[in-house]
């Protein structure tokens, strides 16, 4: 217990780093997920920008990347991280890699949420002369907003999960803290403190997501 009190500054720093990593990856991964999901939805047969080639490529990409365990993906994507963010280690590398993995995971969720929008509503928009871009922003995304918020809440938990292995490539955060000061020092109290903080964080975000989604759905 005493060691935990000594480690309090490090615990807060780690919590801050987790928030930093998860916040940025939620932004970039979420954006990527929206793009991938929209791409899958729009290019699907029968939809407004039907394109078999685009759909097949995106679909295969999502199916290939999603099942790779993240810790392996982290290692495998290191050269790519070096190319894009200039380094294969540390927080920039982990943020890049999580964002990439999250884009594909989130893409599938976005696609599924968009598929719940009634095709008839899209017809209604087309019948008054709306074009594809306008339909995406004024009909498709607003109509799917409630489920999309819940999807982003869901992916948030996955981001926290992925960020926990940041330590392997020299990144920080609560996962690294728990391993470094708890597990390796045989100090379960420290580990549990990290666990507790993560639970609180996830609960807060879930609560926020639920209430925003409720507002969007007006229920």
Partner 1 sequence: MPVVSLRDVSKVYPATTKTGDPVIAIDGVSLDVEAGDVYGIIGYSGAGKSTLVRLVNALERSTGGEILIDGQDIAGLPERRLREVRLGIGMIFQQFNLFNSRTVAGNIAYPLEVAGRPRAERAARVAELLDFVGLADKARAYPDQLSGGQKQRVGIARALATQPSILLADEATSALDPETTHEVLTLLKRVNREFGVTIIVITHEMDVIQTIATKVAVMDQGRVIERGDVFDVFSNPQHAASARFVGTVVKGVPSPGELAVLRERHVGRIVTLSFRDAGVDQQAVFGEFARAGVAFEVIYGGINEIQGRSFGHLTLSLAADHLTEADAVIDDVLDRVRQLTTVTEVR
Give the H or E element holding residue 211.
helix 188-217
Regarding 133 and contact with partner 1 (CB under 8 A), the answer is: no
Question: In this structure, what are the phi and psi dihedrals at residue 67, rounded to the nearest 5 degrees?
Answer: -75, -10
Regarding 125 and contact with partner 1 (CB under 8 A), the answer is: yes
Q: Report the distance separating Cα 11 and Cα 193, nearest Å.
A: 8
Regarding 199 and contact with partner 1 (CB under 8 A), the answer is: no
> Distances in Å between the alpha carbon of 204 and those of 77, 85, 198, 209?
31, 31, 10, 9
Give me the least distance between CB of 49 and partner 1, in Å please: 10
Give me the least distance between CB of 71 and partner 1, in Å please: 40
Nearer to partner 1, 134 or 184 (CB): 134
Question: CB neighbours (10 Å) of residue 27?
Answer: 12
Give me the least distance between CB of 53 and partner 1, in Å please: 17
Nearer to partner 1, 119 or 188 (CB): 119
Regarding 94 and contact with partner 1 (CB under 8 A), the answer is: no
Task: Say if CB 194 and CB 177 are below 8 A apart.
Answer: yes
> For binding to partner 1 (CB under 8 A), which residues are involved?
118, 120-121, 123-131, 134, 138-139, 142-143, 145, 216, 218
């Amino acid at each position: 217990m005493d060691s935990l009190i000594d480690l309090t500054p490090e615990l807060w720093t780690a919590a801050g780093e987790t928030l930093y990593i998860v916040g940025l990856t939620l932004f970039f991964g979420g954006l990527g997920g929206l793009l991938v999901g929209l791409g899958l939805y729009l290019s699907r047969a029968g939809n407004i920008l039907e394109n078999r080639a685009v759909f097949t490529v995106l679909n295969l990409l999502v199916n290939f990347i999603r099942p790779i365990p993240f810790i392996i993906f982290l290692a495998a994507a290191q050269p790519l991280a070096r190319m894009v963010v200039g380094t294969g280690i540390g927080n920039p590398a982990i943020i890049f890699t999580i964002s990439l993995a999250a884009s594909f995971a989130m893409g599938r969720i976005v696609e599924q949420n968009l598929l719940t929008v009634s095709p008839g509503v899209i017809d209604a928009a087309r019948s008054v002369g709306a074009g594809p871009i306008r339909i995406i922003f004024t009909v498709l995304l607003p109509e799917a907003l409630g489920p999309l918020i819940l999807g982003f809440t869901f992916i948030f938990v996955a981001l926290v999960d992925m960020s926990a292995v940041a330590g392997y490539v020299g990144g920080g955060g609560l996962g690294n803290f728990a391993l470094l000061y708890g597990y390796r020092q045989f100090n379960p109290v420290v580990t549990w403190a990290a666990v507790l903080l993560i639970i609180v964080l996830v609960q807060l975000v879930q609560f926020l997501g639920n209430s925003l989604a409720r507002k969007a759905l007006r229920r």
